[in-house]
Every structure is written in structure tokens, then in C-alpha cells.
Amino acid sequence: LVRAVGEKHARELLLTGELVDAATAYRMGLASRVVPPGRAVEEAVAWAGRIAENAPASLALTKELLASFYGMGLEDALRYAAAAGAWIRQSADLEEGLAAFFEKRKPEF
């Protein structure tokens, strides 16, 4: 929570137990977006669909990198990212992505 919203907001939320509305959660950095009432499921499905259009290997690697970077120093993070980049450049997903780009079509992952 501290990482997401900062110490000040985390302290306020945790010590008071106060519930916040969507707009406040967004302003604090606790929510990445706010949608109109009644549209949450529709928007979530659309967002998931946009994510699912991307290469599975790249998505998995990106999630792993984001989770790993928090505990690393800069040098270790750069080394890890370079190794991950080398690995992903050898993937079938990259080949399909490049082929689709040059053939002006959607990739099929």
C-alpha cells in the first residue's frame, strides 16, 4: 500500500480505516482509472481484451520484471532487464510480432 499511494495516504487509510470513493482512490494512486457507474465489468473486460492482444511471453516477462525490480538496485535491475531482453528477442512471439508488423496484419499469438 505504501508503495502504491505513499506513506501519507497509506497511514491515513490504515490508521483510520476510512473507506474512500473511486475519485479519491484515483487521486491517491490506489486506482489506475475510474469508470462510470454500472460500467465496471464492461470496462474491465475491454481492458483485459487489450492486454490479451499482446504477446503472452512478453506479458509474462513484463509482469516478472515489474515484480522483481522493487527489490533490486539499479545495476542489478539493468542486468536483469538486459538478460530478459536477450531472451525475449529469441522468442516465437517476437518473430510473429515482426512478421505481422511487416505484413500489416494483427499478430496471432
- Using CA atoms, how far apart are residues 109 and 107, in angstroms rounded to an integer? 6
Domain boundaries, the chain: 55-109
pLDDT of 46 over the 90 cut: yes
Amino acid at 24: T
Superfamily name and number for 55-109: Lyase 2-enoyl-coa Hydratase, Chain  A, domain 2 (1.10.12.10)
Nearest to 107 by CA among 59, 45, 43: 59
Q: Tell me the average pLDDT across 7-24.
A: 94
Cα-only R_g, the chain = 19
pLDDT of amino acid 4: 87
The answer to whether the predicted template modeling score (pTM) of the entire model surpasses 0.85 is no
C-beta separation of 81 from 65 below 8 A: yes
The beta-strand segments (E) located in the chain are none
